[in-house]
Structure 1
């Protein structure tokens, strides 16, 4: 059940809509039917929260996929502004969110096309974040929830508003300055870089990312490039 709440406040370039179901699915459906860029669908419940942002890119999908790590950076900046300073937030390449080293929700992405060279009509990036663990913490040591990590005073609505503002700021920087500042910020938050990981069933050393944030994965024979487009969910 959603928590009763006052309408959230968003920057002039954005609009908000509280939804009863999954915010990501809601944003995708509104995109398919036709909606303006900057729509933020959100939902806050007693045990979890989520939000999703609609983009209408003007660049090919391969470049527009930068909105996935960009939204992650916006989330880290937003939570960093609201949570106690000792709370550490990191971002997995595939969209995972880690708080104090444990998995705590994830980002998802969907677009109107899967063709990396085509300009998509729309692109949606959203996150889902558990507020309270549904299991005994000791039973799932690699998983956590926001309120388990000293963030009980972080109000979900305020986090959605802050995420929107910080994300919009990064979109403006990306448009004005290119990918370099975003790369620098994201690399400082990236989880698992330099370590052995498994992506798309392929184990290897996570060396870093290319200009479009594709994963560079080194195995015993060669370095593979896994594009961000491999993370796209199927559009309805």
Structure 2
């Protein structure tokens, strides 16, 4: 993908499907914040913000996201016109797209960790962050899908193994090529989700799920509990078998093994 001459201006990119409008930035605080501002100003679905570097990148629950130049940082504006519980399913759409992108480029099999991480050999290679704003009718007015993929670099945090495409065997990975692959996979899965609902997305996600059938610990705001990951429900909730029966988890931190 060639860079735009008008950095920060919404343009078509010849290496992305025509549905996308690319906003290319050299540096920003957070691509999600940039995309949210554009969405609030009326940007159409398919507006895609990419930055070479973020100065205030973040993941779930406001956690920092290391953002040196050489990785992929992008946020996509969507307007699916669905209730928030349905819009949350787009996290699984994005995970499938990222997983396929990673599998295109490295020999290791990408696995999908609930709710929004992509792993290779048990190490985190990508994360996903959804943010939205409600409309007056109770549906989402807009949805922003933030994706960060470790292309050339990965953080070294004790207790939280991570990796990059380069460290897992990708040959001279280019963030622009990674973006083009991700954009194609995402549009394909997003169109399928819009046409067929969550069922095919759920089936594909479970087929690539990390830890399915194995033990885990779930940490919620006020408690932690252990069990076994047995399923994903029709809304994307995690189903955990515990000694007291099955529990459905819609938010929380999950630790496998």
TM class, shorter-length? 0.7 to 0.9
Q: Which consecutive segments of 4 or more residues in structure 1 shift more than 6 A? A: none
Structure 1 residue 47: Cα displacement: 4.1
Distance 1:26 1:199, change over 3 A: farther
Question: Hey, which of these two has a bigger chunk of helix by percent?
Answer: 1
Output one character per residue of 1:15-34: Cα deviation in whole Å (capped at 9) or x when no partner: 11112222222212222332
Superposed CA offset, 1:111-163 (max 9, x none): 11499x93100111111123313449xx6682222211111422111111111
**How many Å separate the matches in 1 of 2:247 and 2:135?**
20
| Inter-partner Cα distance in structure 1 for 2:248 and 2:169 | 37
TM-score by length of 1: 0.83
Match of 1:6 in 2: 3
User: Higher strand share goes to which structure?
Assistant: 2
The answer to which of 104-113 and 217-226 deviates more is: 217-226
CA contact 2:101–2:178 (8 Å) conserved in 1: yes
Segments of structure 2 that go 5 or more residues without pairing to the other structure are 5-12, 54-68, 253-257
TM-score, with structure 2 as normaliser: 0.77
Determine if the alignment matches structure 1 residue 100 to structure 2 residue 97: no
Determine if the alignment matches structure 1 residue 68 to structure 2 residue 91. yes
Q: 1:181 & 1:141 partners in 2: Cα distance? A: 31
Q: Which whole-Å CA distance do the structure 2 matches of 1:207 and 1:42 have between them? A: 36
Q: 2:23 maps to what in 1?
A: 17
Give 1:197 deviation, angstroms.
2.2
Q: 1:112 aligns with which of 133, 139, 155?
A: 133
What are the residue-to-residue correspondences of 1:124-163 with 2, within 5 Å?
A: 124-130=144-150, 131-135=152-156, 142-163=161-182
Question: 8 Å contact 1:69–1:186 — kept in the other structure?
Answer: yes
Structure 1 residue 110 displacement after superposition: 0.8
Alpha carbon RMSD of aligned pairs, Å? 2.6
Counterpart residue number, 1:234: none
Residue 181 of structure 2: SS of its match in structure 1?
helix
Equivalent in 206, 212, 225 of residue 235 of structure 2: 212
Q: Which has the higher contact order (CA 8 A, sep 6+)?
A: 1
Q: Tell me the residue number matched to 1:35.
A: 43
User: Residues 65-101 of structure 1: CA distance to partner in whole angstroms, max 9, x if unpaired?
Assistant: 11101011011222323x14x2221111121121232
Matched, 1:90 2:78: no
Q: How many residues are paired up?
A: 221
